[in-house]
Amino acid sequence: MINRVVLTGRLTKDVEVRYTQSGVAVGSFNLAVQRPFKDANGERESDFINAVIWRKAAENFANFTGKGALVAIEGRLQTRN
C-alpha cells in the first residue's frame, strides 16, 4: 500500500519544537491549505492540517520558517485518537 501525501500551504503559527525524554526533537505545526475551487460566494475555503515533524528536520524547519511562510511538505497520513 502507498501512503504518501504532498501538501502546500501557509503556516498558521511558528513551529513548536519540544524534546522527548530521550532528547529527540519533535516539531508541531498547523498548515492552512486552500481548496482548489471556490464556494457559492466566490471565496476559497481552507483546510487546517495538524502536522508533526521529527529529529533534525524539526529543528531545521523551525529555524528557517515562521508564521505565514509558504511551505510544501511531503509525508504520510496518520490519524490520532
pLDDT the model gives residue 33: 95
Q: Work out the pLDDT band at 11, boundaries 50, 70, 90.
A: very high
- In the three-class reduction of DSSP (H, G, I as helix; E, B as strand; rest coil), residue 26 is classed as strand
From the list 54, 55, 56, 71, the residue with the least C-alpha distance to 14 is 71
For domain 5-75, the CATH architecture is Beta Barrel (2.40)
pLDDT the model gives residue 81: 74
Looking at the predicted structure, is the pLDDT value of residue 41 above 90?
no
From the list 19, 40, 37, 36, the residue with the least C-alpha distance to 28 is 19
pLDDT the model gives residue 72: 95
Rounded to whole angstroms, the Cα distance separating 73 from 51 reads 9
